[in-house]
Homo-oligomer: A and B are copies of this chain.
Amino acid sequence: MEVEWQQLKAHELNELVAQNAAVIVPLASIEQHGPHLPTMTDTKIGHEVAYRAAQKAHAVRPVIVTPVVWSGLSEHHMTFGGTITIEPDTFIALVSDIVTAITRHGFKNILLSNSHGGNKVAMQHIADRLSMRLDATIVATSYISEAEAAIAALLDDQPGIHHACEAETSMMMAMAPDLVDEAILGDIATPIDRPFLTAGKASYRWRPFTEVTQNGLLGNPRSANADKGEALLEAASDALAALLTDDGLWTR
């Protein structure tokens, strides 16, 4: 089954409206990912997780995936170079317009699927705004949180996903090994014991990424490998597929 909006023809998409298909809008970023990973890392992972989840959910309900919103909120990475950030107001308008256009065609169930930490707060804010305005169910997820336990079980040197780390490096090795500089994986770990976006027990602050790392990395990729990456992509897409097939959630 074809699940990518961009590969479908208009009349095929109109038929999917009639079937009450859900639509995933992946939100990601183009940004620095340390010395060993390309700037597409979050975009590539975000596409893959959404794509697999759509296919897995297929037996229960049709799901399609739009192209990735690759222009995200990455001001905190700008000083490292290679990063294309946009203004928060622009991000909010962009995602809001995309979802609005989709619902104008009759789609009622939208999953915002984020793969970049910097987008998370704005994404939830977008879900607030759109839910007040549109007659549609808008759910906002990050695979990082939704599959947190399953991911943790697969990692050796970190408790969860950080940045350009064991997890992200593994997934890139599974999908695009030629773009990973494997030679340096053992030499670039950075400590993850400094709080980044958290404060106190459950509070929040934003900081430039330079506050927590010198080389653009947060975590330890030394034990990254393609098999682990494949398992992570499966765990993440399983979690999203569970969301997509949760009958209590999609009531429209």
Assess the B84–A141 pair: CB atoms within 8 A.
Answer: no
Assess the A9–B30 pair: CB atoms within 8 A.
Answer: no
- Given A5-B30, A10-B82, A242-B200, answer yes or no on A121-B131 (Cβ-Cβ < 8 Å): no
Q: Given the complex of chains A and B, what is the CA–CA distance between A250 and B206 in angstroms? A: 13
Assess the B205–A138 pair: CB atoms within 8 A.
Answer: yes
Which of B71, B146, B205 is close to A127, meaning CB atoms less than 8 Å apart?
B205
Q: In residues 86-137 of chain A, which contact B (Cβ within 8 Å)?
A: 86-90, 93-94, 97-98, 101-102, 104-105, 121-125, 127-129, 131-132, 137
Q: Say whether A85 faces chain B, with CB atoms less than 8 Å apart.
A: yes
Q: Say whether A175 faces chain B, with CB atoms less than 8 Å apart.
A: no
- Given A128-B121, A203-B139, answer yes or no on A67-B43 (Cβ-Cβ < 8 Å): yes
Assess the B43–A6 pair: CB atoms within 8 A.
Answer: yes
Which of B10, B35, B39, B205 is close to A140, meaning CB atoms less than 8 Å apart?
B205
Digit string of A42-74 for contact with B (CB within 8 Å is 1, else 0)? 011000000000000000000000110111010
- Chain B: minimal CB distance from A212 (Å): 13
Q: Given the complex of chains A and B, what is the CA–CA distance between A139 and B205 in angstroms? A: 5
In the complex, the chain B residue whose C-beta lies closest to that of A179 is B7
Digit string of A4-41 for contact with B (CB within 8 Å is 1, else 0)? 01111111111001000000000000101111111110
- Chain B: minimal CB distance from A197 (Å): 9
Assess the A200–B141 pair: CB atoms within 8 A.
Answer: yes
**Number of contacting residues on A, CB 8 A?**
87
Q: Given the complex of chains A and B, what is the CA–CA distance between A242 and B69 in angstroms? A: 31
Assess the B203–A14 pair: CB atoms within 8 A.
Answer: no
Digit string of A144-168 for contact with B (CB within 8 Å is 1, else 0)? 0110110000000000000000000
Assess the A9–B82 pair: CB atoms within 8 A.
Answer: yes
Q: Say whether A227 faces chain B, with CB atoms less than 8 Å apart.
A: no
Which of B11, B70, B179 is close to A81, meaning CB atoms less than 8 Å apart?
B11
Assess the B88–A129 pair: CB atoms within 8 A.
Answer: yes
- Chain B: minimal CB distance from A97 (Å): 4
26 intermolecular pairs with C-beta atoms under 8 Å apart: A5-B30, A5-B39, A5-B82, A6-B44, A8-B38, A8-B39, A9-B181, A10-B81, A10-B216, A30-B66, A30-B67, A67-B70, A71-B98, A84-B102, A87-B97, A88-B129, A90-B93, A90-B97, A93-B94, A121-B121, A127-B204, A127-B206, A137-B205, A146-B200, A149-B201, A205-B249
